Amino acid sequence: MDVIKSTTAASHWTALQVMQDAPVIPVIVLNDVAHAVPLARALVAGGIRMLEVTLRTPQALACIERIAREVPEAVVGAGTIRNAADAQASAKAGALFGVSPGYTRGVGQACRDAGLALLPGVATGSEIMMAQEDGFTELKFFPAMQAGGPAMLKAWSGPFFDVKFCPTGGVTLQNAPEFLALPNVVCVGGSWIVPADAIKAGDWGRITQLARDTAGLKKPG
C-alpha cells in the first residue's frame, strides 16, 4: 500500500517537533470563547505553548481561531479530529497540528491535504501498523491507562522500535514521570493542567502554575 501523499504545503511544524517542545501537551476543552485567549496566555506564561483544543464543544473552532489570531506565541492544534471535515475546518480556523482519537486513512490524508501535522491515535498493534503504512511514526497512545499503560508501551518497544508515542488518557502529574521514563515516549497529553473549575473561575494564575509544574517534568537522561 502506498504512503498517502500531501497535496498542499505542510505546516512548518512536524509531529515530532510538536511532541518535543515540552513534556506535556495540554488537552483543552473550552465551552466559552471568552476563555480561549486568557487560557492560552496563561499556559504560555507557564512554559507550555503546544495547545490541543479538542473539537468536543460547539465553540472549539472559534476558540482555535481566537488563539491563532491573538496569541502568536502559542502553537494551537485541534484535538478529536475524526473526519476530513474536522481537519479542513481546523486548518481554516488556524490550527497547525491535529490529534485524532483513532486512525483511518481518510483522516490521515485529510490532515496532510490541510497541512496539519497529525498525531494519530492508536491502541493496538494493528492500528500502529496501519498508521506506519501511511508514513506516520509519531503516534498518540489513547486511551493510555485503559489500554495498558506503561506496560503496553514497554511491550511495543520491541516490535515497534522505530515509533514514538504521546500517551494520553488517564495521565496525571503523578504518573507522567513513569511514562516519560520510557525511551519510546516523547511527551504525554493531559487535562490536569487545564482543570475545568479553574477555567470556569478564570483562575489563570493557577493554570500558569500548573503549567510551570508540568514544564518542569524532564525525561531521564
Distance CA 195, CA 185 (A): 24
Q: Tell me how many degrees the CA angle 92-17-219 measures, rounded to the nearest 5.
A: 135
Instruction: Identify whether 154 is a catalytic site residue.
Output: no
88: Cβ–Cβ under 8 A, 6 or more apart, which residues?
Answer: 110, 114
Distance CA 110, CA 69 (A): 23
Q: Judge contact between 73 and 98, C-beta under 8 A.
A: no
Identify any residues that bridge with 27 across adjacent strands, giving them in sequence order. 52
The single residue of 52, 65, 138, 164 carrying the catalytic annotation is 52
The single residue of 65, 138, 140, 164 carrying the catalytic annotation is 140
Instruction: Identify whether 127 is a catalytic site residue.
Output: no
70: Cβ–Cβ under 8 A, 6 or more apart, which residues?
Answer: 37, 40
Q: What would the DSSP string read from start to end of 63-128?
A: HHHHHHHH-TTSEEEEE---SHHHHHHHHHHT-SEEE-SS--HHHHHHHHHHT-EEE-EE-SHHHH
- C-alpha radius of gyration, the chain, whole number: 16
What is the grid cell recorded at 150? Answer: 506503561
Catalytic residue IDs: 52, 140
